[in-house]
Amino acid sequence: MQVVILCGGYGTRLRQETEFRPKPMIEIGNKPIIWHIMKLFAHYGMKNFILCLGYKGFLIKEYFLNYEAMNRDFTITLGDQHHISFHRSHTEDDYQVTLADTGLETMTGGRIKAIEGYLRGDTFMVTYGDGLSDVNLDHLLAFHHGHGRLATVTAVHPLSRFGVLNIEKNGAVTSFREKPRVDGLVSTGYFVFNRAVLAYLDKGPATILEEAPLARLAEEGELMAYKHDGFFFAMDTYREYQQLQNMWDSGSPPWKIW
């Protein structure tokens, strides 16, 4: 099972960090957030990744090109007989990572269409490079294969950005709930797509996955939602980055199931 991760956006709402690096390279617990996302998929045996690069994509390339040297001990022989021997191993030993430049201004659907040539098989997964979850990917895939439609999106109840008040007519507050879960469901990413979904994506940079393609799939009855009741957190702002860092520092981050 191949996993496509969208890594090309500007991350403008997190400019304090993304001025210097792309959002997927922002570190949580001294590891880029994309590393945490990939660890979830690898936990379920999905270790074949395609990263759709755009803004400052060269930094993501450098990270993976230097991965062995930065995560293992090594002995280097200098000069004409230049040679490097790596020692120890790491838990990412059998990852296969394809890094594809998909354009600086390309939208999400255009990025997926651009890597069509790297896709093998009839089913693949797609997610964003800034959202962490503990979603059970085995259950998600079983749901997708069970309903027989072309596409599945993982949906959650989001948390309200604000505390919610229950107020009597006289103004008395009868209850207060700090940032409760709201009733509606929203997309987290963590999509499962049949290859036929690619036909819904126009060539070129302007195609936005979340607009016409998903709307058309829904209208044709080809889009199903897998309801996830567990953890999901998207890092869009500096405050959310700090919240994720605090979760990691607590020693029990809810997305770390590996």
For the chain, helix, strand, coil in percent to 5 are: 30, 30, 40
**Strand ranges (E), the chain:** 2-7, 27-28, 31-32, 48-53, 73-77, 83-87, 96-101, 123-128, 131-133, 151-156, 164-167, 173-177, 186-187, 191-194, 223-227, 232-234
How many C-beta neighbours within 10 Å does residue 176 have? 11
Q: Which residue matches tokens 């651009």? A: 114
Mean pLDDT across 122-129:
98
Mean pLDDT across 124-133:
97
Asked whether 133 and 43 are in contact (CB, 8 A), the reply is: no
Q: How confident is the model at residue 37 (pLDDT cuts 50, 70, 90)?
A: very high
| Greater pLDDT, 147 or 161 | 147
Kindly report the pTM of this predicted structure: 0.90
pLDDT for residue 171 is more than 70: no
Average pLDDT value for the chain: 93
Nearest-CA neighbor of 189 among 255, 127, 112, 234? 127
Cα 192 to chain centroid distance, Å, stands at 13
